[in-house]
Amino acid sequence: MIKLSRRKFIRLLGATGTVSALGTLGVTLGGCSGKPGAGPRVVVVGGGFGGATCAKYLRRFNPSIQVTLVERNASFVTCPFSNTVLGGLQDMDSIQHSYDALRMQHGVKVLQDQVTAIDPAGNRVTLQGGGELEYDRLVVSPGIDFRWDSIEGLDESTSDTIPHAWKAGPQTITLRSQLETMADGGVVIIAPPDNPFRCPPGPYERASLIVNYLKTYKPRSKLLILDAKDKFSKQGLFMQAWEQLYPGMIEWVKGSDGGKIYRVDAANRTLHPEIGDPVTADVINFIPPQQAGAIVHAAGLVNADGWCPVDQRTFASTLQPNIHVIGDASIAGKMPKSGFAANSQAKVCAAAIVSELGGTAMPDPSYVNTCYSLVAPDYGISVAAVYRLQDGKIVKVEGSGGVSPMDVPAEYRRDEARYARGWYQSITQDAFG
């Protein structure tokens, strides 16, 4: 058995994008063949990290399957690296991906439309543009939606004034332009939600890259994190970096010390915490509590908490037949809600569907995730893990991955920043290329 140091392990993940299920399953299933597009029909709802990957790998594992991907937008804007846009390091074009390769190279039929209803009994979905699609299997990867009713004063319209920017696109542009127009000496608030939510380290990477921008262009400004939680992902690493790179510019207030917000007054850019006085800021990035994307709710695919229970071996819904749910919307054991996790789950799900439709045994899956965060352009940190199935639940493989070490030389952080960029190139190529 070859032993890998953590550093080598994350470098490998950064360079190759994924070593997950595909390593095993691709070999087993790659030999499937058949007449292109004459076999069973699989409809995939949502062309993000989960849906795009699943559509592509269904076709790679068995080219006879007819795969239709329904996505409401013409192209996909990634949340990963959207924080670099907020920090003025990259532009929107650099995080935008088309579906041309899925259409032209992989034989996926891509429909730009919105699924408005799922009929599990009739095995069909309804499209906003008119008409229906019938399926033999349905894969749903709609990402997240927000629980607007969970905070007083918050609704969809308030995100024009206090953007969430937790779905990349117009919201990213709104928040960036607010930061650009803010005067030097201004106060920015980021208010992250309680768990579970998409991308656990995301708010803290965002704080870092916004302050990296402020430090250069508006150095008298401050950023306040009013957190609903008492601890957060990679906390020790982030806080050490903030002290080194941005002394005195970022203040984090934990939930039980007054970070938890119960009311939002968007018009006056004021947040009301459960403990202490209301806080007003020049720019507020309020990230609302979350649940599975809207489409799964009416279809009876969610539990009481608003997320989708699945068989964690195949991602088949435990509530409705012939439907699989992957990505952020699913309950995937110990895996975080991340793009890499969605990509890894998508391959396992594609393999499970191909096995099931072909009447073959599904190999044992493995799953992988790495979340890189940039604290500055040349300062990266990460958390990585490999997962396996144990008693029907996805669990971490003991000793796999881990978080970046504390107190390492600048060169180590520079390398991790480089792996982060390599990871982005390879995962977007894997999903959309």
Ligand X SMILES: Cc1cc2nc3c(=O)[nH]c(=O)nc-3n(C[C@H](O)[C@H](O)[C@H](O)COP(=O)(O)OP(=O)(O)OC[C@H]3O[C@@H](n4cnc5c(N)ncnc54)[C@H](O)[C@@H]3O)c2cc1C
Binding site for ligand X (CB under 6 A): 45-51, 70-73, 76, 79-80, 82-83, 114-115, 141-143, 166, 198-199, 202, 206, 293, 295, 327-329, 337-340, 342, 371-372
Which CB atom, from 70 or from 211, has the smaller least distance to ligand X? 70
CA 83, 88, 92, 94 torsion-angle sign: negative
Residue 58: CB partners within 8 Å, gap ≥ 6?
42, 44, 65, 67, 350, 353, 354
Which CB atom, from 32 or from 308, has the smaller least distance to ligand X? 308
The two beta strands, 330-331 and 308-309, are parallel
Least separation in angstroms between CB 279 and ligand X: 22
DSSP for 255-324? GGGTT-EEEEETTTTEEEESSS--EE-SEEEE---EEE-THHHHTT---TTS-EEB-TTT-BBSSSTTEE
Least separation in angstroms between CB 76 and ligand X: 5
Rounded Cα distance, 412 and 223, in Å: 27
Least separation in angstroms between CB 127 and ligand X: 8
Rounded Cα distance, 158 and 346, in Å: 33
Residue indicated by tokens 């007449």? 35
The two beta strands, 402-403 and 379-390, are antiparallel
**Per-residue buried b or exposed e for 42-72, using 16+ beta carbons within 10 Å of the residue's own CB:** bbbbbbbbbbbbbbbbbbbbbbbbbbbbbbe
Which CB atom, from 71 or from 265, has the smaller least distance to ligand X? 71
Which CB atom, from 365 or from 380, has the smaller least distance to ligand X? 380
Least separation in angstroms between CB 143 and ligand X: 3
Least separation in angstroms between CB 295 and ligand X: 4
Which residues share a beta bridge with 368? Answer: 386
Contact 402, 384 (CB under 8 A): yes
Residue 19: CB partners within 8 Å, gap ≥ 6?
12, 13, 368, 386
Which CB atom, from 150 or from 270, has the smaller least distance to ligand X? 150
Contact 155, 148 (CB under 8 A): yes
* Residue closest to 202 by CA, chosen among 51, 333, 84: 84
Helix (H), strand (E) at residue 212: helix 202-217
Q: Which residue's Cβ lies closest to ligand X?
A: 48
Which CB atom, from 252 or from 423, has the smaller least distance to ligand X? 423
Which CB atom, from 84 or from 355, has the smaller least distance to ligand X? 84
Which CB atom, from 39 or from 166, has the smaller least distance to ligand X? 166
Which CB atom, from 39 or from 380, has the smaller least distance to ligand X? 380
Least separation in angstroms between CB 128 and ligand X: 8
SS (H, E, C) 215-262: HHHCCCCEEEEECCCCCCCCHHHHHHHHHHHCCCCEEEECHHHCCCEE
Least separation in angstroms between CB 38 and ligand X: 26
Least separation in angstroms between CB 136 and ligand X: 19
Least separation in angstroms between CB 50 and ligand X: 3
